[in-house]
């Protein structure tokens, strides 16, 4: 096996030192794509669709992120935080960024929410060696655009690199994140997200599954079992919430207090009466506020917080369903199973199994959306 060094340009090994039978590559230039195709070897590549739709053909396949599902999960996350004004920032001349933008804007406008967009040059020292100089020229425009957004705003970026640039521009603009602008990126790159200020919320992708499926595809093409390649879709799993989007966007102070209490204490087995008592309002009055502000009941909001947390535990850990139920505030496994199935149309165990089987990846994405 030959692994190319991770520097400015990926290179193919010399023919006399490598007797390979297949290639998995991240293609960043037409020249590299041409070199790989000239080998005549089966290959699976990402980045072929960076400026055009993904494709596949005889003896080659492609790895592509499921941009529609990514945009939907990002929009859902911001909507659930009570935001009603939205924006999207993406890269110029980048197909996957454009698809995410289109889906995000379409979904929000279908729900009658305003959404504005902005494009910047791709922040990549590999593809754009002078991107830092370009960013210095672009940042003032970004600052003005951010200041012009109706506040509070929910802003999704095409990926975490773009998200970090938006956060930097927010600092320059004197905007509070997440109170003025709540930001969510894509990729859940731990290094970028945790080192951003504030830490960046991000849509996590199931890259491990896509890696296995890509290797399986390449193996099939090398052995001749698979004659035609196909597109391997990298599915989103959930939003990893960090400080950049941890906001409750409500003008109603009673709602802010109630929602804050629920999100801080849902795992402690709280009831509707506990919430009403905490905020000093009658249950009837508080239910009316919930119906007007977020369109769901107090009990439904408690259940939503519990189920969203349960999904993360089911996806990211091997903790038993019984312990998951206990951790998120259900007093019995039976109640947990019933509530989960009512909201997601699948049992917790079924949800976990789908997440761990290639065939069920898209079903999990749909379950996570919940629109």
Q: Which tokens belong to 98?
A: 């454009």
The pLDDT score that the predictor gives to residue 7 is 46
Residue 365 has pLDDT above 60, yes or no: no
Distance between CA 347 and CA 359 in Å, rounded? 17
- Per-residue pLDDT tens over the stretch 79-89: 988 888 999 99
Residue 125 has pLDDT above 70, yes or no: no
- Per-residue pLDDT tens over the stretch 304-357: 999 999 998 998 889 999 999 999 999 999 999 999 999 989 999 999 988 777
Q: 253-369 adopts what CATH topology?
A: Arc Repressor Mutant, subunit A (1.10.10)
Mean pLDDT over the full length of the chain = 86
The pLDDT score that the predictor gives to residue 121 is 84
270 three-state secondary structure: coil
Q: Where exactly are the structural domains of the chain?
A: 15-65+206-237, 67-204+238-245, 253-369
pLDDT average, residue stretch 276-298: 93
The pLDDT score that the predictor gives to residue 1 is 45
The pLDDT score that the predictor gives to residue 250 is 77
Instruction: Name the CATH architecture for the domain at 67-204+238-245.
Output: 3-Layer(aba) Sandwich (3.40)
- 181 and 146 in contact (C-beta within 8 Å)? yes
The pLDDT score that the predictor gives to residue 3 is 47
Burial degree of 17 (CB within 10 A; 0-12, 13-18, 19+)? exposed
364 three-state secondary structure: helix
Distance between CA 240 and CA 194 in Å, rounded? 11
Residue 28 has pLDDT above 50, yes or no: yes
Sequence-ordered list of residues with C-beta below 8 angstroms from that of 187, at least 6 positions apart, any chain: 159, 160, 202, 203, 204, 205
The pLDDT score that the predictor gives to residue 359 is 47
240 three-state secondary structure: strand
């Amino acid at each position: 096996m030959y692994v190319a060094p991770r520097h400015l340009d990926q290179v193919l090994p010399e023919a006399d030192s490598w007797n390979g039978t297949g290639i998995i590559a991240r293609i960043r230039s037409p020249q590299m794509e041409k070199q790989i195709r000239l080998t005549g070897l089966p290959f699976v590549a990402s980045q072929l669709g960076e400026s055009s739709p993904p494709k596949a053909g005889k003896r080659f396949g492609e790895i592509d992120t499921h941009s529609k599902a990514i945009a939907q999960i990002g929009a859902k996350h911001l909507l659930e935080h009570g935001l009603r004004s939205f924006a999207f920032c993406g890269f110029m001349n980048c197909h996957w960024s454009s698809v995410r933008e289109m889906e995000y804007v379409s979904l929000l406008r279908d729900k009658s929410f305003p959404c504005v967009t902005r494009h910047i040059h791709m922040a990549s020292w590999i593809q754009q060696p002078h991107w830092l100089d370009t960013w210095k020229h672009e940042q003032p425009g970004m600052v003005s655009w951010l200041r012009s957004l109706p506040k509070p705003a929910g802003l999704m970026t095409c990926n975490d690199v773009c998200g970090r640039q938006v956060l930097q521009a927010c600092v320059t603009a004197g905007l509070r994140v997440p109170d003025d602008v709540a930001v969510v990126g894509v990729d859940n790159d731990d290094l970028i997200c945790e080192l951003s200020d504030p830490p960046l919320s991000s849509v996590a992708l199931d890259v491990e599954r896509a890696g296995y499926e890509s290797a399986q595809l390449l193996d099939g093409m090398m052995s001749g079992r698979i004659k035609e390649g196909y597109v391997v879709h990298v599915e989103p799993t959930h939003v990893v919430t960090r400080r950049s989007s941890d906001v409750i966007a409500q003008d109603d102070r009673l709602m802010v207090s109630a929602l804050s209490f629920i999100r801080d204490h849902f795992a402690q087995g709280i009831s509707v009466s506990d919430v009403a008592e905490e905020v000093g309002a009658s249950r009837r009055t508080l239910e009316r506020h919930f119906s007007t502000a977020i369109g769901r009941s107090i009990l439904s909001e408690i259940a939503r917080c519990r189920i969203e947390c349960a999904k993360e535990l089911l996806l990211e850990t091997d903790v038993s369903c019984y312990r998951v139920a206990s951790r998120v505030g259900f007093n019995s496994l039976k109640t947990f199973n019933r509530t989960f199935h009512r909201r997601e149309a699948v049992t917790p165990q079924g949800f976990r199994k789908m997440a761990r089987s290639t065939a069920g990846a898209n079903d999990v994405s749909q379950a996570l959306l919940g629109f």
